[in-house]
């Protein structure tokens, strides 16, 4: 053996002994807490606002933390909390927090670490102290605004709120506000709004702008009643709105044109009172457009006109006076038809479901086959051509004929014919939900 080979085992034995000594000393002298992620401060960082310290993360367990706020690296007297309100002396300096972490079982060995420095900008500053992250369209939110104007206690001027590039609100800032004001803002539309507050100064300060704050508005849900016209006898023709006033997807459910067909209004009332269209969609319900006929249980209106033959199309005819199907003296001669035409031109529904009895069918128009199929399946009614005796090449003088010819680019109108005496369960649950689901609003 060479001397070198003898030395190796000896060295190893020595090393083992040294490690054992070190381990034996361990419990009496714990390692000091080591900083893993730096302390940090959060907050707007402007005059009059509050900074909050986060101690960061450290090695060791059950540590206690002490805080010292620093201005340009020097301790600020008395500033030893987890929060610090920025005061005038801090303007145009850099603030930081120094964190001291101690292990209570070994107070002699603390660790320290300091956050990054935060620059306190020159005055004035305009800050949105509080705004909701989420709201509902058409609601009014409150923006809590702070205008910090350095040595000026109560800056004066105007606080103006912009939604994107649009000025939506202006409030006078008076000396008594002491730079703090709550500005109510009506959120007009659904979607994300980026609000910015601009302080337009009067007096010894200059103007400034806040950061933009994002507020997300969910679709509104509105219920509304509208009288869309009057019958020959002066009865109101009423439409009820349910849903999002900004909806791009709207169903009109017309319960009745013929006063001797009583089932459709029951569906309309059920839908109006019990079903809520899903978010972002909307529903109009007109239980009857023939209130005079409904009052007397007659098909025709008070002047003996079939309101579903009175629509101004190429197929309109004045023939058949006195019959159940008289189209009236002129196209759209009846106030009920006129009211409905004006209403449809205004709201332009995506889907119109017009309920009749008793032919037991979904009217086939070919305008939107998928919608007709959904109706057929949901309401358990076969799709059929429902002819009204109009010569070929002419447009039927019916509401569906008129709408699909005139406003077919906006939507589709379809006739639903229940049977003679559908059950209550059918006209409410089955047909109500089934129609709304077919129109993709439920
Ligand atoms: Zn009918």
CA of 436 to the centre of ligand 1 (A): 20
Give the tens place of pLDDT for each residue, 212-267. 999 999 999 999 999 999 999 999 999 999 999 999 899 999 999 999 999 999 99
CA of 107 to the centre of ligand 1 (A): 90
CA of 332 to the centre of ligand 1 (A): 17
> What distances in angstroms separate CA 70 from CA 67, 76, 80, 126, 188, one per listed residue?
10, 6, 10, 24, 45
pLDDT at 20 over 80: no
CA of 380 to the centre of ligand 1 (A): 19
pLDDT at 2 over 70: no
Beta strands in 104-235 (DSSP E): 106-114, 118-119, 125-130, 134-136, 140-148, 156-163, 166-173, 180-186, 191-202, 208-209, 213-218, 222-230
Identify the CATH homologous superfamily for domain 222-438.
Zn peptidases (3.40.630.10)
Residue 56 · residue 35 · CB < 8 Å? yes
CA of 257 to the centre of ligand 1 (A): 6
Residue 22: the pLDDT is 46
% pLDDT > 90, the chain: 76
Same fold, 35-119 and 125-218: yes
Least confident of 102-106, 319-323, 435-439: 102-106
Least confident of 6-10, 106-110, 113-117, 389-393: 6-10
User: What is the rounded average pLDDT for all residues in the chain?
Assistant: 90
Cα–Cα distance for residue pair 366/136, rounded to 1 Å: 39
Secondary-structure class of domain 125-218 per CATH = mainly beta
CATH architecture of 35-119: Sandwich (2.60)
Average pLDDT on 393-417 reads: 95
CA of 358 to the centre of ligand 1 (A): 8
Domain extent listing, the chain:
35-119, 125-218, 222-438
């Amino acid at each position: 053996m060479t001397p070198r080979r003898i030395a190796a085992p000896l060295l190893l034995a020595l090393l083992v002994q040294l490690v054992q000594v070190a381990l034996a000393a361990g419990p009496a002298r714990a390692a000091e807490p080591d900083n893993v992620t730096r302390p940090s401060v959060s907050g707007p960082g402007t005059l009059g606002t509050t900074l909050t310290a986060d101690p960061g993360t450290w090695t060791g367990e059950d540590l206690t933390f002490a805080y010292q706020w620093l201005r340009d690296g020097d301790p600020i007297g008395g500033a030893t909390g987890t929060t610090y309100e920025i005061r005038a002396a801090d303007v145009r300096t850099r603030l930081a927090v120094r964190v001291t972490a101690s292990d209570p079982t070994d107070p002699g060995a603390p660790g320290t670490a300091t956050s990054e420095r935060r620059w306190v900008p020159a005055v004035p500053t305009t800050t949105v102290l509080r705004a909701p992250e989420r709201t509902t369209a058409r609601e009014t939110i409150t923006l809590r605004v702070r205008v910090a104007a350095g040595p000026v206690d109560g800056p004066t001027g105007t606080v103006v709120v912009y939604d994107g590039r649009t000025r939506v609100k202006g409030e006078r800032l008076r000396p008594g506000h002491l730079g703090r004001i709550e500005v109510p803002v009506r959120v007009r539309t659904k979607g994300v709004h980026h609000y910015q507050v601009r302080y337009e100064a009067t007096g010894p300060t200059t103007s400034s702008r806040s950061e933009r704050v994002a507020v997300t508005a969910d679709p509104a849900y509105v219920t509304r009643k509208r009288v869309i016209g009057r019958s020959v006898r002066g009865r109101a023709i009423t439409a009820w709105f349910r849903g999002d006033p900004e909806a791009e997807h709207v169903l009109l459910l017309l319960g009745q044109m013929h006063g001797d067909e009583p089932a459709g209004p029951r569906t309309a009332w059920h839908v109006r009172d019990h079903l809520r269209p899903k978010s972002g969609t909307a529903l109009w319900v007109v239980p009857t457009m023939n209130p005079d006929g409904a009052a007397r249980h007659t098909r025709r209106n008070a002047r003996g006109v079939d309101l579903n033959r009175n629509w101004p199309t190429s197929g309109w005819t004045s023939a058949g006076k006195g019959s159940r199907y008289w189209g009236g003296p002129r196209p759209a001669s009846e106030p009920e038809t006129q009211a409905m035409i004006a209403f449809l031109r205004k709201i332009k529904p995506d889907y119109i479901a017009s309920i009749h009895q008793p032919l037991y069918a979904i009217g086939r128009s070919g305008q939107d086959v998928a919608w007709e199929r959904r109706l057929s399946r949901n309401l358990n009614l076969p799709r059929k051509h429902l002819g009204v005796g109009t010569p070929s090449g002419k447009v039927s003088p019916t509401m569906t004929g008129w709408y699909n010819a005139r406003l077919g680019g906006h939507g589709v109108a379809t006739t639903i014919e229940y049977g003679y005496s559908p059950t209550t369960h059918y006209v409410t649950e089955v047909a109500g939900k089934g129609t709304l689901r077919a129109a993709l609003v439920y």
